[in-house]
């Protein structure tokens, strides 16, 4: 129940519309009762041409109304009904429409809010959140899980209000008409509610399994779609199809389990209801035979009993929808309540442009249990180039990831001009850092949009200038729509060298004082390599550069080189000094595979 109320929290901002929906529901229910009660005069006055007789003593004003109706001639009354019945149905339809409209509107608003909240939160979460989860899983929460909540809000809450109003109405009518039999009704309601709650609990468990399976399928889809090239290269299509089929079959099995339980609820409540309706039918029927009750009142009474069963059946369905929404809601709240590990402190200040040095002081870092970086100490003057070399897996990328605070060290400090980067506003820190990685991340946008990413308002002239400096303008001009050409998901429509030069143009445009460069290891042809190299030299000029170096020319000209092995700096100095040491660096240099 706590989970359900937590979910209802999303309704709070829309309480105005919810109030309107509630008013429409109440009126729609009242008109339901009035239209149904027309059975009494239609049967007693028109069909059997007798008088209306109630078994119970009624309040005086209803008694007076019945006496008045009884005094009207049947053909006069028929003429009244011809106008009254359509008018009642029009009013009922009017309130029904607005009740549905307002509730659907709230459903869509809630979904919009949840999606925005999750997306906002995702932007806020640290990189660690993304690296420890599958992309498909994250996407599934924002799509599939949110849809389940929409169902619960649009249909679940609507039906919950509407059906409860119906139960109140018909219980009231039945008590009012036949107080003696009301006790049966109370037992009946209790018996119908019991299986609902029993099965409901199981539903929640199965629903959670279902949402998790959907997330698995989404993850698999995401991996195989984005890795289509590798799947084809390794002729793994059949393997991937088999894997997908297995996941899909499991989803089907869980879904059928859920369907079986949901479907069982409806007939079960109906059977209990009908059983009691028959008892009531017997006693009320006896009263009709003994002329204690008119036929019209009997028909109205019996219809009310059956009308009371219907909302119970519907409520069972609502319960199932709600259980699914609660399961989905739990997964949504896991994202919304996830801890933002890297955030500004209350006293964070803006980082001034560095003018002295950047220093690592006894920095230790681990992703999980194992230390990836140990006792890292170095400093680099502003405007200098620091090359980081070492074997694969030594921790080079991890080290540079600490500078923009993608991760925080668990021990030690990173200082820029005597300010610990943990004490500055993250945005002001990241604005001063440009990153060009091996894996150039481009978006499915125009070339212009990709170069000016982060500067949407910038002048096109500046974009062209940056593209020229990055040796990218010539090939951009040859693209079908020049700067406006859309380059496909992750820039798939461009070559590796072209993608790199766009990323370099992006960094040139950002013009950051600090630059992090992860040189590409992938082999480019010599012309492309020359163009990229030239662009990088222009980009590096006048900046403090951290470069994970793979090119000899970059390492040789670096002001300082640190050699990492298993997370420890084992050598440091410039090229000459390190060659003379005859250690790991000189061995790597000799192999020319830094």
Give every CB contact of residue 539 below 8 A, 6+ residues apart in sequence: 434, 436, 469, 470, 504, 507, 508, 515, 517
CA-nearest of 572, 551, 585, 590 to 390 is 585
Q: How far apart are CA 549 and CA 526, in angstroms?
A: 18
Q: Of the two residues 21 and 399, which places its CB atom closer to ligand ATP in the complex?
A: 399
Q: In the numeric block, which tokens belong to residue 376? A: 């890292």
Q: How far apart are CA 551 and CA 536, in angstroms?
A: 12
CB of 136 to ligand ATP, least distance (A): 17
Which of the residues 76 through 135 are near ligand ATP (CB under 6 A)?
Answer: 131
Tell me if 395 contacts ligand ATP by CB under 6 A: yes
Applying CB under 6 A, among 393, 454, 488, 542 the residue interacting with ligand ATP is 393
Listed ranges 140-148, 311-319, 388-396, 460-468: which one lies at the site for ligand ATP (CB under 6 A): 388-396
Q: How far apart are CA 47 and CA 412, in angstroms?
A: 93
Tell me if 392 contacts ligand ATP by CB under 6 A: yes
Instruction: Calculate ∠ Cα 171-185-301, nearest 5°.
Output: 55
Give every CB contact of residue 325 below 8 A, 6+ residues apart in sequence: 7, 148, 149, 151, 152, 153, 156
Instruction: Write down the residue that tokens 């209802």 correspond to.
Output: 8
Instruction: Write down the residue that tokens 């074997």 correspond to.
Output: 391
CB of 531 to ligand ATP, least distance (A): 24
Binding-site size for ligand ATP (CB under 6 A) equals: 12
Tell me if 522 contacts ligand ATP by CB under 6 A: no
Applying CB under 6 A, among 398, 528, 544, 554 the residue interacting with ligand ATP is 398
Q: How far apart are CA 308 and CA 311, in angstroms?
A: 6
If 0-12 CB within 10 Å is exposed, 13-18 middle and 19+ buried, where does residue 289 land?
A: exposed
Beta bridge partners of 571: 563
CB of 406 to ligand ATP, least distance (A): 10
Q: How far apart are CA 321 and CA 150, in angstroms?
A: 10
Applying CB under 6 A, among 314, 319, 331, 396 the residue interacting with ligand ATP is 396
Tell me if 410 contacts ligand ATP by CB under 6 A: no
CB of 127 to ligand ATP, least distance (A): 8
Q: Of the two residues 19 and 393, which places its CB atom closer to ligand ATP in the complex?
A: 393
Applying CB under 6 A, among 394, 415, 421, 514 the residue interacting with ligand ATP is 394
Applying CB under 6 A, among 397, 428, 437, 444 the residue interacting with ligand ATP is 397
Q: Of the two residues 383 and 496, which places its CB atom closer to ligand ATP in the complex?
A: 496
Q: Of the two residues 24 and 520, which places its CB atom closer to ligand ATP in the complex?
A: 520
Listed ranges 25-33, 152-160, 309-317, 391-399: which one lies at the site for ligand ATP (CB under 6 A): 391-399
Q: Of the two residues 290 and 392, which places its CB atom closer to ligand ATP in the complex?
A: 392
Q: What is the largest CA-CA distance in the chain?
A: 121
Q: How many CB atoms lie within 10 A of CB 531?
A: 22
Q: Of the two residues 317 and 398, which places its CB atom closer to ligand ATP in the complex?
A: 398
Q: Of the two residues 311 and 390, which places its CB atom closer to ligand ATP in the complex?
A: 390
CB of 407 to ligand ATP, least distance (A): 8
CB of 366 to ligand ATP, least distance (A): 9
Give every CB contact of residue 458 below 8 A, 6+ residues apart in sequence: 452, 509
Tell me if 409 contacts ligand ATP by CB under 6 A: no
CB of 398 to ligand ATP, least distance (A): 3
DSSP-H helix ranges across 360-413: 396-401
CB of 395 to ligand ATP, least distance (A): 4
The phi and psi torsions of 288 (rounded to 5 degrees) equal -65, -45
The dihedral over CA atoms of 403, 409, 411, 416, expressed in degrees to the nearest 10, equals: 10
Q: How far apart are CA 22 and CA 28, in angstroms?
A: 10
Query: Per-residue x/- marks for ligand ATP, 357-386, CB under 6 A?
Result: ----------xx---x--------------
Q: Of the two residues 129 and 312, which places its CB atom closer to ligand ATP in the complex?
A: 129
Q: Of the two residues 398 and 450, which places its CB atom closer to ligand ATP in the complex?
A: 398
**371, 390, 429 from 368: Cα distances, Å:** 8, 22, 26
Query: Per-residue x/- marks for ligand ATP, 126-155, CB under 6 A?
Result: -----x------------------------
Q: How far apart are CA 389 and CA 401, in angstroms?
A: 15
Q: Of the two residues 438 and 446, which places its CB atom closer to ligand ATP in the complex?
A: 438
CB of 368 to ligand ATP, least distance (A): 6
Please check whether residue 249 is in contact with residue 208, taking contact to mean a CB–CB distance below 8 angstroms.
no
**Interface with ligand ATP (CB under 6 A):** 131, 367-368, 372, 390, 392-398
């Amino acid at each position: 129940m706590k989970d359900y109320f937590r979910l209802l929290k999303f309704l709070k901002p829309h309480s105005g519309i919810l109030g309107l929906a509630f008013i429409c529901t109440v009126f729609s229910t009242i008109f339901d009762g009035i239209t149904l009660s027309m059975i009494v005069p239609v049967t007693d006055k028109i069909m059997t041409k007798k008088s209306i007789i109630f078994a119970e003593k009624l309040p005086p004003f209803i008694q007076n109304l019945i006496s008045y109706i009884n005094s009207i001639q049947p053909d006069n009354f028929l003429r009244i009904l011809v106008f009254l019945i359509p008018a009642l149905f029009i009013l009922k339809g009017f309130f029904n429409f607005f009740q549905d409209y307002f509730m659907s509107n709230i459903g869509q608003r809630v979904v919009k809010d949840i999606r925005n909240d999750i997306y906002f939160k995702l932007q806020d979460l640290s990189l660690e959140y993304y690296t420890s989860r599958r992309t498909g899983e994250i996407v599934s929460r924002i799509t599939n899980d949110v849809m389940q909540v929409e169902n619960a809000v649009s249909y679940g809450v609507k039906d919950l209000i509407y059906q409860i109003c119906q139960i109140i109405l018909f219980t009231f009518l039945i008590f009012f008409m036949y107080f003696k039999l009301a006790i049966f009704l109370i037992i009946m309601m209790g018996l119908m509610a019991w299986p609902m709650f029993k099965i409901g609990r199981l539903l929640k468990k199965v629903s959670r399994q279902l949402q998790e399976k959907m997330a698995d399928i989404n993850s698999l889809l995401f991996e195989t779609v984005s890795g289509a090239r590798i799947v084809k290269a390794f002729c793994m299509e059949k393997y991937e199809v088999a894997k997908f089929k297995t996941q899909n079959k499991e989803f089907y099995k869980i879904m059928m389990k859920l369907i079986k339980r949901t479907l069982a609820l409806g007939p079960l409540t109906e059977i209990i209801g009908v059983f009691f309706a028959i008892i009531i039918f017997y006693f009320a029927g006896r009263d009709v035979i003994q002329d204690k009750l008119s036929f019209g009142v009997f028909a109205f009474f019996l219809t009310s009993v059956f009308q009371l069963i219907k909302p119970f059946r519907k409520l069972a369905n609502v319960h199932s929808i709600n259980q699914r929404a609660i399961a989905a809601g739990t997964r949504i709240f896991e994202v919304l309540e996830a801890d933002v590990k890297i955030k500004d402190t209350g006293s964070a200040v803006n980082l001034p442009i560095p003018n002295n040095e950047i220093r690592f002081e006894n920095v230790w870092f681990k992703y999980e249990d194992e230390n990836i970086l140990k006792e890292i100490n170095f400093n680099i003057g502003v405007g200098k180039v620091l090359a980081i070399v070492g074997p694969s897996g030594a921790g080079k990328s991890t080290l540079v990831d600490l500078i923009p605070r993608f991760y925080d060290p668990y021990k030690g400090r990173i200082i820029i001009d005597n300010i610990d980067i943990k004490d500055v506003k993250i945005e002001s820190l990241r604005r001063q850092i440009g990153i060009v990685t091996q894996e150039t991340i481009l978006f499915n946008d125009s070339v212009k949009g990709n170069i000016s990413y982060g500067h949407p308002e910038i002048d096109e002239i500046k974009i062209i200038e940056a593209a020229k400096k990055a040796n990218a303008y010539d090939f951009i001009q040859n693209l079908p729509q020049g700067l406006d050409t859309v380059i496909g998901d992750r820039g798939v429509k461009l070559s590796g060298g072209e993608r790199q030069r766009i990323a370099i143009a992006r960094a040139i445009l950002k013009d950051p004082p600090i630059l992090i460069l992860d040189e590409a290891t992938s082999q480019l042809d010599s012309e492309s390599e020359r163009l990229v190299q030239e662009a990088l030299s222009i980009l590096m000029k006048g900046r403090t550069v951290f470069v994970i170096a793979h090119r000899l020319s970059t390492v040789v000209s670096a002001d300082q080189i640190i050699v990492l092995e298993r997370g420890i700096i084992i050598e440091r100095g410039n090229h000459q000094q390190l060659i003379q040491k005859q250690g790991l660096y000189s061995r790597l240099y000799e192999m020319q595979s830094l």
